Chains A and B, each alone.
With several copies, the nearest count.
Chain A
Amino acid sequence: MPVHLTHQLMTNYLIIRVSGELDLHAALEFRHKVEDELARTSSKHLLLDFTALTFIDSSGLGAILGRYRTIRQLPGKMSIFGAGGTVRRILELAGISKLIPLCETERQAASC
C-alpha cells in the first residue's frame, strides 16, 4: 500500500498524517511534503500522526530523523502520536523515542 500524506494546520503546530507504508520510496515524498508544508505555513512545531501507518523500516526512520533535525534548527518541537504494533516497536528499537516523544493521542502530543 503506497504512502498517503495529508496535513492540517493548527494554531500552534502543523500535523502531518501518514497512512500506508513509509519505506525508501515513500521517504522521499514524506521529506518533500513535510519540508514544503513547514515552509509554506511557517510552522515551528510538528506533530506526526501515525495512526494509519502500517509499515516502517530504517529508510522511514531516516526520513523522520531528518525532519527532526530541521525542526531543531528552527528551533521547534516535534512529537509522534498514534503509532501502534510493529511500527511502535521499531521506533522504540531504533531509539527514536529517546529523541521524539511517542504519545497516544494528538492532545498529549500537542502538549509535550
Chain B
Amino acid sequence: MANRMGLTLLSRSDNVGVARVALAAFAAQLSFTLSDLEEIKVAVSEAVTNAVSHAYPGAEGEVAVSATADGDLLTVEVRDAGVGIPDVAAARAPSFTTVPDRMGLGFVFMESFMDELEVSSAPGQGTTVTMRKRCRPQAG
C-alpha cells in the first residue's frame, strides 16, 4: 500500500537541507539505487531552493513538501503560496533566471534527475512543482 508524507517548512535557506534529508530517507523505502537517491536529493533541493529564493521576496512564507511512494513510483510535490511565475515555459529554459548570481539551472536539474516534471504557477497564485521518478528493477 502507498506510503505518503508531508513536510511544512519556512522559506529559509537552512531548511533546504531538512527537506533534502527527509525526502531522501522517505525515497529510500523504494528500491532506488544510491545514485538515484543522490539525484532525488538534487531535484528536491532545487525545488525547495526556488520556493525559498523566489516565492516570497523580502518576506518569509511557508513551503509544503509532500511525497508518495506507490509501487515503484515516487511522487514529490513542492508547493508555495508566493508570487508565482508569469511565464512558466520561459522560466524552465536553461540559464533563465530573474536573479543575478543564480544559474538558471534549477528546473533543468529537476528535469534531468527526475522522470517527469510539472510546474503549475500563475502570478499571485503560488507555485506547485510535481516531480516523479520510478525505480528500475534491480539486477541480481
Q: Which of B20, B28, B41, B103 is the one whose CB lies under 8 Å from A65?
A: B103
A61 at the interface (CB under 8 A from B): yes
Is B103 a contact of A58 with CB atoms below 8 Å? yes
Chain B interface, number of residues (Cβ within 8 angstroms): 24
Cβ–Cβ < 8 Å partners of A66 in chain B:
101
Scoring A23, A65, A93 by chain B CB atoms within 10 A of each residue's CB, the highest score goes to A23
Is B38 a contact of A23 with CB atoms below 8 Å? no
Once A2-B28, A57-B45, A57-B46 are accepted as A-B contacts, the answer to whether A23 and B17 lie under 8 Å apart by CB is yes
Once A2-B28, A23-B17, A25-B14 are accepted as A-B contacts, the answer to whether A86 and B102 lie under 8 Å apart by CB is no
Chain A interface, number of residues (Cβ within 8 angstroms): 19
CB distance from A5 to the nearest CB of B (A): 16
Is B17 a contact of A59 with CB atoms below 8 Å? no
What per-residue 1/0 map shows which CB atoms of B38-77 lie under 8 Å from chain A?
1101100110010011000000000000000000000000
Alpha-carbon distance between A77 and B49 when the two chains are bound, in angstroms: 30
Scoring B20, B49, B53 by chain A CB atoms within 10 A of each residue's CB, the highest score goes to B49
CB distance from A96 to the nearest CB of B (A): 10
Alpha-carbon distance between A42 and B41 when the two chains are bound, in angstroms: 37
Q: Which of B52, B103, B108 is the one whose CB lies under 8 Å from A62?
A: B103
Once A23-B17, A28-B13 are accepted as A-B contacts, the answer to whether A57 and B101 lie under 8 Å apart by CB is no
